[in-house]
A = this chain, B = another copy of it.
Amino acid sequence: MSIPVPKVPSFPAAAHTLTSLGGLRAAGVRAGIKASGNPDLGLLVSERSIPVAGIFTQNHFAAAPVLLSKKHLAASGGLFRALVVNSGNANACTGAQGEADAHEMCARVAARLGCPIEQVLVCSTGVIGVKLPMDKVRGGIDAAFDALAHDVEAGRRFLAAIMTTDAFPKEASVGAGAGQVAGVCKGAGMIEPNMATMLAFVGTDFALESGQLREALPRIAAQSFNAVHVDTHTSTNDTLLLLATGQTPAPHDWEQHVTRVAHRLSWLIARDGEGATKVTTIEVTGAASDAAAQQIGKLVAASALVRTALYGNDPNWGRFTSQVGNSTAVKNARALTCVLQGIEVFRSGEPTAFDRAAASRAMAQEDVRLELKLADGAGRAVVLTSDLGYRYVQVNAEYTT
């Protein structure tokens, strides 16, 4: 059977990347962890200790590097000198040896920099349940140190080294006055054995304290990475870091600029869902609370029936509304109004008379908007989802071993 492979989208390179921020150097090298020979070890180094905050997977099987990075963040009080990332192997479900290996990666970097080990963070992404090839990792770290550079190309090599099943590199940046925010990430749908780890590293040259980053990061994540719902799985290795290099005074609305970059990165992850042809932004308003709105949006976003309808450009109000009707977070479902690409398709418990062919054509876009308007309160949330097509089944049903 021949499944059409969706065209890989291409996006313009961001104006800036992490190495555009003052005092950051980066490298990405081929350590030989990936059988493909592609770049698989990235290193990001700050000239001095700078503020950092992080958010990590809540999966019970959180991988060794996640546990260690959380520990280091707590011990350093949110200070950062370096980040080492390997792709090709997630160092997850690897027991005590995995913990020792993650520690050794940090220790090797700390020794080279002569800094406290707590200021070194580590991420891994790739196959799970397999021990890290530490000889290759050691060689990769040493080679990365030799390759560290300040230029944009070095930042792009770092990005290349953290990718696994990504169909395209993901980066975003915005300028804000004299300052800037730049970020890179990796992540797509959930192809085992890679478990679709989401790694995102966002930096700004604003002068901010660790406490400010820590306090804002959950809000930023809620409007970006935590709003992406390609699959119901969260990975063993998901990590989001936010760095502030401190060259520029932070404007009062600094958080909005960071959120813009984070949102763009998360949109790119949704766009890279396996076989995805579009990203659908589900906007829930009028829910009893923001939490209720998010619960409703995620229930709709997670539905295979909704996602196949999106793939098929089917303005299938019954699937959207009945999934809202399934949510325990809804009070008065019969007040629901459902608007698809600006076209009202459902109001007060009954379908609206709308032009289905026109609605279908309106759905044949890379960016689709589904508004679910309730009358329970003022709660609102935005959730992103990708569509589910033949290619999703193909990449996920293939025998992996």
Q: Which residues of A come within 8 Å of B, CB atoms?
A: 1-4, 59-61, 93-95, 128-129, 190, 192-193, 195, 231-236, 299, 302-305, 308-309, 311-319, 321-327, 330, 333-334, 346, 349-351, 356-357, 360, 388-390, 392-394, 396-401
Contact = CB atoms under 8 A, between A and B. Distances in A.
Given A1-B4, A314-B400, A393-B388, A231 B304 contact: yes
A333 B59 CA distance: 9
Contacts of A398: 312, 314
B397 A389 contact: yes
B93 A61 contact: no
A341 to B, nearest CB: 15
A304 B394 CA distance: 12
Nearest to A310: B397
Q: Which of A308, A311, A315 has the most chain B CB atoms closer than 10 A to its own CB?
A: A308
Given A350-B94, A392-B304, A321 B61 contact: yes
Contact of A233 (B195, B317, B323, B394): B323
Nearest to A321: B61
Contact of A308 (B356, B360, B389, B397): B397
14 contacts: A59-B322, A60-B326, A60-B330, A93-B318, A93-B346, A190-B319, A231-B305, A232-B299, A232-B305, A236-B322, A305-B396, A360-B399, A388-B393, A389-B393
Contacts of A346: 93
Q: Which of A129, A192, A314, A393 has the most chain B CB atoms closer than 10 A to its own CB?
A: A393
Contacts of A397: 308-309, 311-312, 314, 389
Contact of A396 (B1, B234, B309, B325): B309
Contacts of A128: 318, 322
Q: Which of A233, A334, A349 has the most chain B CB atoms closer than 10 A to its own CB?
A: A233
Given A60-B324, A321-B61, A334-B61, A303 B396 contact: no
A393 B308 contact: yes
A346 B396 CA distance: 20
Given A59-B326, A61-B349, A401 B356 contact: yes
Contacts of A400: 314, 316
Contacts of A233: 303, 305, 319, 322-323, 326
Contacts of A236: 322, 325
